[in-house]
Chains A and B, each alone.
Chain A
Amino acid sequence: MDGTPNAATPETLAGYNFAYLDEQTKRMIRRATLKAVAIPGYQVPFGSREMPLPYGWGTGGIQVTASIIGVEDTLKVIDQGADDTTNAVNIRRFFAKTAGVATTEKTAEASIIQTRHRIPEEPLRADQIIVYQVPQPEPLRFIEPREAETRKMHALSEYGIMHVGLYEEIAHFGRITQGYNYPVQVDDRYIMAPSPIPKFDNPKMDHMPALQLFGAGREKRIYAVPPHTKVKSLDFEDHPFTIESWEQTCALCGSEESYLDEVITDDRGSRLFVCSDSDYCRTRRDAGHEGSGLPVPAEPDTTASEPAGESS
């Protein structure tokens, strides 16, 4: 409207290549992505570029998205399930500006979904691609800091130590305490970090109809899970993998099935439980579902040790 020179649309920034990255970089990332798909769960090294935002803000996911996205795509970006958080809004704007693509907050309308730390509640379809932002792609790193060693462990399927780590949690706490970034094994071969999604989302990865791509910018790795591929969360026969569940339902939409965020509503520990997936929650409310709208009082046992009757 202001007569921006040479802009494809009034919203698009002039002077940048489509989707920011240069074509040689895209080809390199595309080739790495194809190899990642061909070797499910294996972390393919790639020449991660400096992006106009710092590592830790989804540069790996952004580079993968920039390399696969086309003018016909509709992009959705979520951070912890929500479309309206800083990281999600910025990345969505970044692609609206540099690629001029359509963006959406609706899971069903998106062809590419870039995500930080959640998988949408609505099952993904075969015509969608989900791109995960990954801070630490190496599931063995917290056990073995040396890259040369972890590479060898992956090469030889030398994964016994991973079960030792989980066993130690059981020995200490009586259960596996890892609640997010819960390690999985892909197609009975590579052990893979699913990125810091809650383990609640792990079962969604198994035989998902959509292609799953993972980008780690700082660690310079791309990996993938093709559609309809077995993704098994590590466990033991006598300590099977379980996901989180809540006694509460979503205070806004009443969902009994979605992953709930706990929001503290006052200084007495009252909590409101709401869906982490904002689009799922909105869709349900639009369809007439309603929650109590009320916070849940603090659990008695958590306040028992507190002095009763604060001065306020």
Chain B
Amino acid sequence: MTAALSLTPTIDIEPGFIDPVRDSQMIFRAVLDVMARPGQIATLPALAERQDRLAPASTMICLALIDHETPLWLDESLMIPGITGYLRFHTGAPLASSPSQASVAVLDGPSTSLTRFKTGSDAYPENGATVIIQVPGLSASGPLTLSGPGVDGEAGFGVEGLPDSFWKEREAVNAGFPRGVDLILCAGDKIAALPRTTRVSLHEVEGDQ
């Protein structure tokens, strides 16, 4: 009996969306909404939940938007069989061997330099990667000021867990607009997006200019 079982090894893969058509649409619309309004924070409905480092929001965005056409890169802390098995089974996305091969990436914190991802070309800027970064928290007010398309004037924004150097690096990566990298930030079930067009400025501490 045990011999028979060992011939058919199984991996515990948690379920994906219960209603993939409807659930994918709901998640996509939430992502579209935040991508169109940088800094706006949306709370995703709990349509697929798992119990490891892959946050509910990044899980659902992957289920909704990636497939065999989108090489996926996961940072080291997410490259565990439970996660790779889950995403490959439910989405069919191939795992990229390096960040530069990926069209979509999921990072747990600022683990990987944004300079390593594709930014597209001037002629085909849409080939720039979409990088999903899991962070401890998001807030609509904070030390960051956002402006650019989708922002009515200026908007405050706060992200926990990303150092000041991250914003410098992002600015450098997106300096060659239209080339650039688009970010989706996930904190638990909350998401916000920073497309390449969004200008992020850091307030100096204690109201310095």
In the assembled complex, which residues on chain B have CB atoms less than 8 Å from the CB atom of A30?
A: 28, 32, 64-65
State how many residues of chain A have any CB contact under 8 Å with chain B.
45
Output the nearest chain A residue to B123 by Cβ-Cβ distance. Answer: A155
Residue of B nearest to A126 (CB): B37
Contact A23 B21 (CB under 8 A): yes
Q: Which residues of A contact B150 (CB under 8 A)?
A: 37, 226-229
Verify A35–B182 contact, CB threshold 8 A: yes
Known contacts A38-B182, A155-B122, A226-B37; A31 and B65 CB within 8 A of each other: yes
In the complex, the answer to whether A37 meets B28 with C-beta atoms within 8 Å is no
Stretch among A39-47, A235-243, A264-272 lining the B interface: A39-47
**Interface check B24, CB cutoff 8 A:** yes
CB of A192, distance to nearest CB on chain B (Å): 13
Partner of B197, one of A23, A39, A45, A155: A39
- Whether B195 is near chain A, meaning CB under 8 Å from some CB there, is yes
Report the bound CA distance from A230 to B26 in whole Å: 28
Instruction: Give CA–CA (A207, B149) in the complex, Å.
Output: 9
Residues of A within 8 A of B123 (CB): 151-152, 154-155
Which residue of chain B lies nearest to A229 when distances are taken between CB atoms in the complex? B149
A206 to chain B, nearest CB (A): 12
Question: How many A-B contacts are there with CB distance less than 8 Å?
Answer: 109
Residues of B within 8 A of A186 (CB): 149
The interface bits of chain A over 110-129 (1 if a CB of B lies within 8 angstroms of the residue's CB, else 0) are 00000000000000000000
List residues of chain B with CB within 8 A of the CB of A190: 178
Is A34 positioned at the interface, with any CB of B under 8 Å from its CB? yes
Q: Tell me the A5-36 residues at the B interface (CB within 8 Å).
A: 17-18, 23-24, 26-28, 30-36
Give B46-68 interface residues, CB cut-off 8 Å to A: 64-67
Query: Are A38 and B65 touching (Cβ within 8 A)?
Result: no
B22 contacts across to A, CB distance below 8 A: 18, 70-71
Contact between A226 and B32, CB atoms less than 8 A apart: no
Query: Interface readout for A145-157 with B: 1 if CB under 8 Å, 0 if not?
Result: 0000001101110
Name A's B-contacting residues (CB within 8 A): 17-18, 23-24, 26-28, 30-40, 42, 44-45, 67-71, 151-152, 154-156, 186-187, 189-190, 207, 209, 211, 224-230
6 A-B pairs with CB atoms under 8 Å apart are A27-B65, A30-B64, A34-B65, A42-B178, A227-B37, A229-B149
Contact surface of B with A, Cβ cutoff 8 Å: 20-22, 24-26, 28-29, 31-33, 35-37, 64-67, 69-70, 121-123, 125-126, 128, 130, 148-153, 177-178, 180, 182, 195-197
